[in-house]
Amino acid sequence: MSAAREMLCDTARAVFAEAVTAGIAPVEEAGFALLLVPEADGGFGGDWGDVNAVLQIAGVIIPDLPVAALIASDALQPAATVSLMAGAMGQALVLSIEHVNTRHQFGRPLGKFQAVQQSLAVMACEVRAVEAAAGALAARLDAVGLDPSAAGFEIAAAKLRANRAVGVVTAIAHQVHGAIGFTREYDLNRVTIALMRWRGEQGNDAYWAARLGRQVAGLRGRGLWEALTVR
């Protein structure tokens, strides 16, 4: 990550932490709405790579606040949601790993049980896939100057992939946490409920699968590969 983006992320973390109790106001005041606005127009001149990084943090710290709507246009909301989902899934994994390494049962940490290790490996693969999808989508949006129609393929593929990961990630996160993860006071539900909500927002699985499928059918078999590799 570039130094500038790291600074941006540090700022986002501090502002979002304040926003947890104060609502959206601190985020608005910090000027995140200007992130994508060019410097010449008084904005910060950021790119979608920056948005992706900031929204991943938002997905962890303030999943309930409408940060994405503040930064991105309506047409880019599905892409913004993918970034939020990547962040929330990463957090579900972090919490799960911490829990199984701390919680002892049957005389050893849960994480030492092979069955638990295998479940978390499956979960980590899903999280990694969504992070990669969000990163690749960001790269595409930046390459086409944030034109949503030129990134239609990537938006559909990334949102669909993120949606499909939700079931696996939320199920395993709650399973390895046991009852504590199902309480209101423990942090896990903040991200898992948000993930369940985001799966259905900005296009559910059926919507994007049908849309992407029809688009690809128009390319024909060889055309799909050619379309993938010109990007």
Partner 1 sequence: MQGFALYPFDPPGDIGALRAELRAWLAVNQPQGDIVARANCWASFDADFSRALGAAGYIGMTLPTRYGGGDRHPLERYVIIEELLAAGAPVGAHWIADRQTGPLILRYGSEEQRERYLPGIARGELYACIGLSEPGAGSDLAAVRTTARETAEGWRVSGQKIWTTGAHFSHVMLALVRTEEGSERNAGLSQLLIDLDTPGITIRPIIDMAGHHDFNEVFFDDVLVPHGALVGTRGQGWQQVTAELGLERSGPERYLSSHALLATLIDAAGADPDPAVAVLIGELTAEMWTLRQLSMSTAAKLAVGEDPMVEASVVKELGNAFEQEMPRRVQAIVDCPWDDPGDLGRLLRALLIASPSFSLRGGTREVIRGIIARGLGLR
Q: Which is nearer to partner 1, 26 or 83 (CB)?
A: 83
Which CB sits closer to partner 1, 125 or 196? 125
Structure tokens of 127?
């999280």
CB of 215 to partner 1, least distance (A): 8
Of residues 24, 23, 40, the one with CA closest to residue 32? 24
Taking the complex as a whole, how short is the minimal distance between the CB of residue 97 and partner 1, in angstroms? Answer: 6
Q: Closest approach of Cβ 99 to partner 1, in Å?
A: 11
Q: Which is nearer to partner 1, 2 or 183 (CB)?
A: 2
Comparison of 20 and 125: residue with beta carbon closer to partner 1:
125
Q: Do the strands 108-109 and 104-105 form a parallel or antiparallel pair, or are they unpaired?
A: antiparallel
- To partner 1, the closest distance from the beta carbon of 42 in angstroms equals 30
> CB-wise, 26 or 156, nearer to partner 1?
156
Tokens representing 219? 């390319």
Q: How far is the CB of 33 from partner 1 (least distance, A)?
A: 26
The distance of closest approach from Cβ of residue 34 to partner 1 in the complex, given in angstroms and rounded to an integer, is: 26
Given the rule CB under 8 A, which residues bind partner 1? 56, 90, 93-94, 97, 100-101, 111-112, 114, 116-118, 120-122, 124-125, 128-129, 131-133, 135-136, 139, 153-154, 156-158, 160-161, 164, 205-206, 208-214, 216-222, 224-225, 228-230
Cβ neighbors of 29 (< 8 A, separation 6 or more) are none
Whose Cβ is closer to partner 1: residue 182's or residue 225's? 225
What is the three-state SS of the chain? CCHHHHHHHHHHHHHHHHHHHHCCHHHHHCCHHHCCCCHHHCCCCCCHHHHHHHHHHHHHHCCCCCHHHHHCCHHHHHHHHHHHHHHHHHHHHHHHHHHHHHCEECCEEHHHCHHHHHHHHHHHHHHHHHHHHHHHHHHHHHHCCCCCCCCHHHHHHHHHHHHHHHHHHHHHHHHHHHHHHHCCCCCHHHHHHHHHHHHHCCCCHHHHHHHHHHHHHHHCHHHHHHHHHCC
26 or 111: whose CB is closer to partner 1?
111
Q: How far is the CB of 35 from partner 1 (least distance, A)?
A: 20
